[in-house]
C-alpha cells in the first residue's frame, strides 16, 4: 500500500495530466453543445502541454536563463563553464510554446465555424441541428 502511495507521489503530475486529458476527451465525444466541445478540445490540448512541461522539470535546477550572461561579455572567452544540470531542460518548453499557439489558432477557427453554424441553424445543440436536418 505504501508502495502505491510513493509511486503516486512520484508520478502525480503525470496522473493529473491523464485525468485532464480524459476529461477533455470525454467532453469532445459526449457533450452535445458545440462550444462545450471546443472547451473540451482546449482542455485536452492543455493537458498534453502539461505532460510535456512535466517532462522538462528537473530536480535541483533553475529556470533556463543562463546567469551572468550579458551578450559579448561571456562568449568567446568561455570563462565559466555552464553545467547542464543546473538549468531546466528548455526543449519541451520550446515545443509547448508552439503547441499553445497552435491551440489558440485552432480555437479561433473552431469558434468561427461555430458562429457560422449558429447563424445557419439558430442553435448550438448538435441534436437540435440534426433534428432540423432530418426534417428537410
> What residues between 40 and 99 interact with other proteins by CB under 8 A?
40-46, 48-67, 69-72, 74-76, 78, 81-85, 87-99
- Specify the residue, 1 or 74, whose C-beta has the smaller distance to other proteins: 74
31 φ/ψ angles, rounded to the nearest 5 degrees = -75, 145
Supply the minimum distance, in Å, between the C-beta of residue 1 and other proteins. Answer: 17
- Minimal distance, residue 4 CB to other proteins, in Å: 12
In the bound state with other proteins, the residue whose beta carbon lies nearer, of 1 and 81, is 81
Q: Restricting to residues 3-42, name those near other proteins by CB under 8 A.
A: 10-16, 18-42
C-alpha angle 122-127-130 in degrees, rounded to nearest 5: 75
CB of 2 to other proteins, least distance (A): 17
What is the distance in angstroms between the CA of the first residue and the CA of the last residue of the chain? 60
Q: How many residues of this chain interact with other proteins, rule: CB under 8 A?
A: 109
| 131 near other proteins, rule: CB under 8 A | no
Residue 129 in contact with residue 121, Cβ under 8 Å? yes
- Retrieve residue 97's grid coordinates: 510554446
Q: Which residue from 4, 133, 134, 135 is in contact with other proteins, where contact means CB under 8 A?
A: 133
Q: 42-67: string of b/e by CB count within 10 Å (b at 16+)?
A: bbbbbbbbbbbbeebeeeeeeeeeee
Amino acid at each position: 500500500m505504501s508502495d502505491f502511495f510513493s509511486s503516486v507521489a512520484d508520478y502525480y503530475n503525470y496522473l493529473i495530466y491523464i485525468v485532464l486529458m480524459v476529461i477533455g476527451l470525454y467532453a469532445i465525444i459526449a457533450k452535445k453543445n458545440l462550444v462545450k466541445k471546443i472547451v473540451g478540445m482546449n482542455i485536452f490540448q492543455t493537458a498534453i502541454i502539461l505532460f510535456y512541461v512535466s517532462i522538462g522539470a528537473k530536480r535541483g535546477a533553475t529556470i533556463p536563463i543562463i546567469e551572468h550572461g550579458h551578450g559579448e561579455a561571456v562568449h568567446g572567452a568561455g570563462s565559466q563553464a555552464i553545467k547542464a544540470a543546473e538549468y531546466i531542460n528548455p526543449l519541451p518548453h520550446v515545443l509547448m510554446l508552439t503547441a499553445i499557439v497552435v491551440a489558440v489558432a485552432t480555437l479561433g477557427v473552431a469558434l468561427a465555424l461555430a458562429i457560422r453554424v449558429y447563424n445557419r441553424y439558430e442553435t448550438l445543440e448538435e441534436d437540435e441541428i440534426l433534428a432540423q436536418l432530418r426534417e428537410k
